[in-house]
Amino acid sequence: MKLLNLHTHSQTGNPDIFELVNQYPDEFDDSVAYFSIGIHPWRIDENRLQSDLQVLESKLADKRCLAIGECGLDKRIETPIGLQLEVFEVQLLLAEKYKKPVVIHCVAAYQEVIETKKRMNIEVPMIIHGFSKNEQVARSLVDNGFYLSFGKWLLRNPELESAFNSVPDDRFFLETDTAEESIEQVYGLAAKYRNVDLEAFKLNVSENFKTVFNFALE
């Protein structure tokens, strides 16, 4: 059973790992095997927004494109939250149109993301990547239908164990994002926290991926 790296910015080519590589419309790499594509709030540029959206939509029909993202909201950057929300909502509409899950970047805007999901009645799966908050935030997101993806902060912050263990078995994923740590390290610690055999744990994550992405790992 392969390991799944739900969100990474680089393709290693390791045959034992299924990597969902993050792509941007303005820097698309056609050599990537499987990818998500989205307009990150850090990369919103009004001068090329329409062309980015056109590229984004054109890639959604590609069978290698498994998700939209990362996209979302970030209150700690200078880009006005209103503009961020507008770009986020357009991408959520595309996700609904093409029936693609959404990989979400969220910083200090969890309530806004939850409210947007409810207001727009988004039905496709929505995954908060790089989750690093407490058990209360985790439970709130799960209760509102979100999935959570854990990565480097699971390795770096022991206090995240309780939040990770509070997430139901069918609602989490694992990733590396841009971290130096390997996906093997993330899996090893996550399985230890759950007190589960690594092979059984890999099967758990694989089943989650099949459910959310309608894609079976080998």
Binding-site positions for a divalent metal cation read 70, 105, 129, 177
The 3-state secondary structure of 164-209 reads HHHCCCCCEEECCECCCCCHHHHHHHHHHHHCCCHHHHHHHHHHHH
- Write out the two tokens for 30: 């056609």
**Residue with structure tokens 């239908």?**
145
Return the DSSP state at 56.
H
The answer to whether 33 touches 4, Cβ cutoff 8 Å, is: no
| Binding-site residue ranges | 70, 105, 129, 177
Residue at 200: amino acid letter? A
The answer to whether 125 touches 153, Cβ cutoff 8 Å, is: no
